Amino acid sequence: MDALLNSPVMEMLSDPVLYIGLGNGLLLTLEVAAISIVLSSLFGTVIGAMRYSGFPVVSHIAATYIEVIRNLPQILLILVSYFVLGLPGKWAAVIGLTIYTTAIIAEVIRGGLNSVPVGQWEAARSQGFSFLQSMWYIVLPPAVVKMIPPIVSQFVTVIKDSSFAMVIGAGELMFKGQILAGKYWRPSQIITIYVIISLTYFAINFAISTVARRLQKKLSAGRGSIGN
């Protein structure tokens, strides 16, 4: 028992520095992810609607953005934001993640809108609704239900991909873990640090996925089966 209590791992786990370091890293990870998710949701909805609109010039601009950005490495966008635009690490990560995630969300939005029967558009227009009114009141409500799983999946990806910010020295969770691994240099301590980080990512993303599934079931009430 004494050997266990005096082991390097227990020594590390009893040190407040470990929790302060990981806690600060987690706060920055959540901040970067939250800002990126909000911004990419807004921009992605606009670009997805542009892509879906059918107006040639508008649709072509949106399609070009989506195709170009989707085929670039996400980490490249973060590096460009940091080294070319000269942004601080935190904001370089936010901009890079937002640019990439916007393209993914836009495609999800377009796919969701395409899943709505044309008859609903025709019914809305026959009642005198404009394009924006038809989109907001008639088309989006049923489309949103189908968009929730892929959008939440992308949000989970954003949280995980925020770890790319470590390459530009932003003090997010993985970066803090790397610093702590230098302080607690024994293999058993390093393994424990990364196990804690892995469990933290899992807990956050599992909670988000669980809430999303419940929300989808609630919104899908009366709309038929949505699967498991």
Q: Is 227 left (phi over 0), alpha (psi -120 to 50) or beta?
A: left
Residues 150-174 have a mean pLDDT of 92
Angstrom distance (rounded) from CA 104 to CA 32: 18
- Dihedral Cα 81, 87, 93, 94, nearest 10 deg: -100
- Dihedral, CA atoms, 206, 93, 110, 107, nearest 10 degrees? -80
Look at 51-55, 98-102, 140-144, 160-164 and tell me which has the smallest mean pLDDT: 140-144
- Please write the tens of the pLDDT for every residue from 47-92: 998 898 878 899 999 999 999 999 999 999 999 999 999 999 999 9
Q: Could you please report the per-residue DSSP string of 4-33?
A: HHTSHHHHHHT-HHHHHHHHHHHHHHHHHH
97-129 tens-digit pLDDT: 999 999 999 999 988 888 878 777 777 778 788
Q: What is the pLDDT of residue 73?
A: 93
How do the domains of the chain map onto residue ranges?
20-176
**Residue 9: how many CA atoms within 13 Å on its side-chain side?**
13
| Percent of all residues in the chain with a pLDDT value above 70, rounded to a whole number | 93
Choose the CATH number for 20-176 among 1.10.3720.10, 3.40.50.720, 1.10.150.130, 3.40.1390.10: 1.10.3720.10
Residue that wins the pLDDT comparison between 182 and 140:
182
